[in-house]
């Protein structure tokens, strides 16, 4: 992992040439947050291809750029387009941008994802504020020699998602009449969706929703000392006794419908960040 | 086969240090390295001096072989091991053990520090492993262990020797410290678990969770060694109340329990 330090420095160097700002928050614009970029007063925008050691986005729908600017006055840096383990990328590369955000000065990380809902109290279109997670991806971005300059060998994970940020998000949700739960996200590698037996298993072990991302970024965020708030959009319900085949059009429609709500939550959480 | 040659070269280097043929191999895990001092006529060989041995970078792992005897039984002790979370593959992790087996070891006693999942387990208690659940992930399985394709037969009694388990438990009763048998869950780490993960592991039947041991035990069984695995419960998983775990606390708890482990090791070796 010792080469990571140099990679971070090189990436930071290129970004700094184009943007002198110091971000308070790093935002990974996963599913449901893509539109947030329209609310950012963009001061600089870099294609991933311009940044050393950043992965290139190959999926047609993914932009693949880093957006630097201000969100309601708060300096932020946003990843438009993220990468997944199921695409075959090593986790250290998937999560490098998180370390770069930290190196640029970020203090908190906002992540979002699309997920299958398993808790029977949830509905498609609901948002779950991630309270905790289970890593079933079969891999970990911290495996390797630890670079003590980046973080500790054995990070504690008893509270990876910041309690205060969770409370803030839930308060904003209640205020804005948005249905928001708090619960446990289980990450699997994917890319296939799960069988009924797997949904029963995942529910049994204590998860409320399941998805194929986010956990690697959160593990790295905890490692390097970022506060984290995470949001899962329940794009479809996965109840094993009444499982419907996944309908991609429906899933996308649900994600789009939830987008304004998620944006409101992120805005609300960041609005309460003290401006230094 | 290159690996067989590497094992021979490493074994030769160890023999050349003047060590006799061991009967029992002991892997001394986190915080438990002190036991090697009990070996008589001891010869220490640093891993760095042995061809093809992986270098240990983990906290409190010294990184050397100590060959000696306990009573009449010749023992080879590994002070320090390497782990999956350091970036090593199972073949590298298990190389030293294969060398010990080549030198003559036919019993493996492996120790580790672990997080307690079962609420009945308190810090510094000893769990005698009677079964494991491998959740170490794809790296633990991806690399081929060796060109050796001999089938590791499924033992009806599992990986852990029943007699050695009973022996360990009886030592604990005799010495008056709490020990029980149970299931060790292996995770890659290196981070400690989330509360949701602790709940999950307990739910699936884990009694303790750790980041080692399973690759070594699997290799030992493939080589036909009897296995005993002893786990020192260091931190107790708090599934609801947030409690921070630090590696310093883990090592300190393991150190405090080292006398208990020592008494079991002595009995297991005598049985070896």
pLDDT at residue A155 is higher than 70: yes
State the first-to-last Cα distance of chain B, in angstroms, to the nearest integer. Answer: 31
Q: Which residue does chain A place closest to B57, by CA atoms? A: A145
Q: What is the pLDDT of residues A228-252, one digit of tens each?
A: 999 999 999 999 999 988 888 888 8
Q: What is the pLDDT of residue A34?
A: 82
Say yes or no for a CB contact (<8 Å) between B245 and A159: no
Span B215-223, mean pLDDT?
Answer: 92
pLDDT at residue B51 is higher than 90: yes
Say yes or no for a CB contact (<8 Å) between A205 and B85: no
Look at chain B and report how many structural domains it folds into. Answer: 1
pLDDT at residue A61 is higher than 70: no
Q: A2 at the B interface (CB within 8 A)?
A: no
CA distance B136 to chain A (A): 7
pLDDT at residue B147 is higher than 50: no
Q: What is the pLDDT of residues A64-112, one digit of tens each?
A: 999 999 999 999 999 998 899 999 999 999 999 999 999 999 999 999 9
Say yes or no for a CB contact (<8 Å) between A140 and B196: no
Complex ipTM, two decimals?
A: 0.92
Q: What is the pLDDT of residues A9-42, one digit of tens each?
A: 999 999 999 999 999 999 998 877 788 999 999 9
H helix runs in B108-161, sequence order: 139-142
Ranking A171-175, B152-156, B225-229 by mean pLDDT, the lowest is: B152-156
Q: Do A31 and A236 contact (CB within 8 A), yes or no?
A: no
Region of A138 please: left (phi>0), alpha (psi -120 to 50) or beta: left
CATH of A2-271, one of 2.160.20.60, 3.30.360.10, 3.40.50.1580, 1.10.3720.10: 3.40.50.1580
Q: Residue B82: phi, psi to the nearest 5?
A: -110, 160
- Please name the residues in contact with A102: beta carbons below 8 A apart, sequence gap of 6 or more: A26, A221, A224, A225, A226
Say yes or no for a CB contact (<8 Å) between A133 and B196: yes
> Could you tell me the residue ranges of all domains in chain A?
2-271
CATH code, B83? 3.40.50.1580
Q: CA-CA distance, A194 to B266, in Å (whole number)?
A: 49
Q: How many helices (H) and strands (E) does chain A have?
A: 6, 9
Structural domain that includes position B180:
2-271
Q: What is the pLDDT of residue A252?
A: 87
Mean pLDDT of chain A: 94
Ranking B6-15, B36-45, B61-70, B102-111 by mean pLDDT, the lowest is: B61-70
């Amino acid at each position: 992992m010792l080469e990571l330090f140099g990679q971070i420095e090189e990436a930071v160097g290129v970004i700094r040439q184009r943007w002198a700002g110091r971000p308070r928050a790093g935002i990974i614009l996963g599913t449901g947050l893509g539109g947030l970029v329209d609310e950012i007063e963009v001061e600089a925008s870099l294609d991933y291809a311009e940044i050393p050691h950043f992965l290139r986005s190959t999926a047609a729908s993914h932009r693949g750029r880093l957006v630097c600017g201000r969100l309601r006055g708060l300096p932020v840096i946003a990843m438009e387009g993220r990468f997944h383990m199921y695409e075959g990328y090593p986790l250290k590369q998937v999560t490098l941008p998180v370390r770069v955000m930290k190196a640029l000065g970020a203090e908190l990380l906002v992540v979002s994802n699309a997920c299958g809902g398993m808790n029977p109290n949830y509905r498609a279109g609901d948002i779950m504020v991630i309270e905790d997670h289970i890593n079933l991806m079969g891999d970990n971005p911290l495996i390797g020699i630890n670079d003590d300059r980046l973080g500790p060998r054995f990070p504690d994970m008893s509270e990876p998602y910041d309690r205060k940020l969770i409370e803030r998000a839930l308060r904003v949700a209640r205020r804005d009449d948005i249905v928001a739960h708090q619960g446990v996200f289980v990450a699997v590698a994917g890319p296939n969706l799960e069988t009924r037996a797997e949904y029963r298993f995942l529910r049994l072990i204590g998860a409320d929703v399941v998805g194929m991302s986010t956990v690697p970024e959160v593990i790295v965020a905890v490692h390097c000392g970022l506060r984290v708030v995470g949001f899962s959009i329940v794009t479809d319900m996965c109840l094993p006794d009444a499982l419907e085949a996944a309908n991609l059009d429906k899933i996308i429609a649900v994600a789009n419908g939830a987008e304004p709500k998620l944006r409101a939550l992120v805005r609300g959480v960041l609005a309460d960040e003290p401006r230094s | 086969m290159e690996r067989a040659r590497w094992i021979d070269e490493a074994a030769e280097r160890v023999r050349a240090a003047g060590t006799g043929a061991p009967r029992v191999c002991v892997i001394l895990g986190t915080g438990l390295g002190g036991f090697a001092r009990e070996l008589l006529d001891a010869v220490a060989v640093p891993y760095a001096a042995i061809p093809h041995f992986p270098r240990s970078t983990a906290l409190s792992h010294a990184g050397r072989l100590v060959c000696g005897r306990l009573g009449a039984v010749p023992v080879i002790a590994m002070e320090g091991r390497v782990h999956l979370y350091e970036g090593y593959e199972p073949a590298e992790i298990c190389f030293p053990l294969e060398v010990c087996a080549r030198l003559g070891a036919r019993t493996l006693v492996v120790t580790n520090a672990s997080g307690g999942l079962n609420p009945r387990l308190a810090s510094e208690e000893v769990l005698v492993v009677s079964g494991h659940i491998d959740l170490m992930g794809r790296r633990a399985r991806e690399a081929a262990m060796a060109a050796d394709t001999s089938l590791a037969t499924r033992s009806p009694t599992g990986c852990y020797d029943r007699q050695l388990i009973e022996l360990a438990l009886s030592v604990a009763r005799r010495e008056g410290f709490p020990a029980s048998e149970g299931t060790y869950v292996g995770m890659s780490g290196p981070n400690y678990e989330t509360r949701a993960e602790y709940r999950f592991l307990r739910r699936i039947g884990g009694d303790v969770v750790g980041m080692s041991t399973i690759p070594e035990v699997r290799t030992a069984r493939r080589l036909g060694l009897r296995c005993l695995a002893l786990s020192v419960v260091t931190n107790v998983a708090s599934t609801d109340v947030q409690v921070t775990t630090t590696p310093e606390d883990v090592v300190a708890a393991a150190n405090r329990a080292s006398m208990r482990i020592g008494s079991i090791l002595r009995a297991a070796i005598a049985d070896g």
